[in-house]
Amino acid sequence: MQSMLLQLAEGMATSVAIFVLTLLFSLPLGMLVALARMSKSRLLSGLMRIYISIMRGTPLMLQLLVVFFGPYYLLRVNLGSGYRFPAVILAFVINYAAYFAESYRGGIASMPRGQYEAAQVLGYSRAQTFAHIILPQVVKRVLPSVTNEVITLVKDTSLAFVLSVTEMFTIAKAIAAAEKTMIPYLAAGIFYYVFNFVVAMLMERLEHRLNYYR
């Protein structure tokens, strides 16, 4: 039992790494995509609309396969097995950035036009208005929807098994097959639940701290 838990803990470390790296890159990328999506340039806005549509309209599992096998089938470039983990991160980042972008876009669009006009009267530039007035309010408004995506990400880390990245679910499957028992799945479920509980608690505390209306 102890050996099994140690193996699952090692897999959990990989799952946590996927989770952290995905958030680290997809949250700021999502903001850039949202701003491009709201651009006055029809070409840029149209491209971002297509990107978001594809990312949200196709399975993450398929995107993982395309990102990993794409360089070989399209460019005949063999990146080897060392590309598996980077491919997982890249696929997760571009997928979740699309979802975060739509959350950001909704938050930005909900801001009253009068705030932009008032900032302009006070001498703020467009960049200063967004950074100091709009963005802090947008973060608070979109936090609940972002929290839902973050919680989903915890569970989606298990999809890394598609590219043979040995995260926790992959290890649980291997142990269960070797020992012919359901205990590894139960233990993995507990690991995921605790991970999700901690993430949800942290996001709730952040939302509470940003609740300046209380």
* One-letter identity of residue 12: M
Band the pLDDT of 1: cuts 50, 70, 90: low
In tens, the pLDDT along 103-136 reads: 999 888 887 777 777 777 777 777 778 777 777 7
pLDDT band for position 212 (50/70/90)? Answer: low
Q: Residue 13 is encoded by which pair of tokens?
A: 């470390």
Give dist(CA 151, CA 21) in Å, integer: 15
User: How big is the CA angle at 65 (ends 102 and 75), to the nearest 5 degrees?
Assistant: 105
> pLDDT tens-digit profile of 160-193?
988 888 888 788 888 888 878 888 888 888 888 8
Taking only the tens place, the pLDDT of each residue in 33-91 is 999 999 889 999 999 999 999 999 999 999 999 999 988 888 888 887 789 999 999 99
State whether the Cα torsion 109-114-120-123 is positive or negative: negative
Extract the tokens encoding 1. 């039992």
The rounded distance, in Å, linking the Cα atoms of 77 and 90 is 17
Let me know: does 153 contact 195? Beta carbons within 8 Å. Answer: no
Domain ranges of the chain: 2-209
CATH number of 2-209: 1.10.3720.10
Assigned token pair, 40: 């006055």
Lookup result for tokens 């102890």: 2
Distance CA 84, CA 160 (A): 9
**Dihedral, CA of residue 136, residue 148, residue 14 and residue 67, to nearest 10:** -90
Residues 6+ apart with CB under 8 A from 107: 137, 138, 139, 141, 142
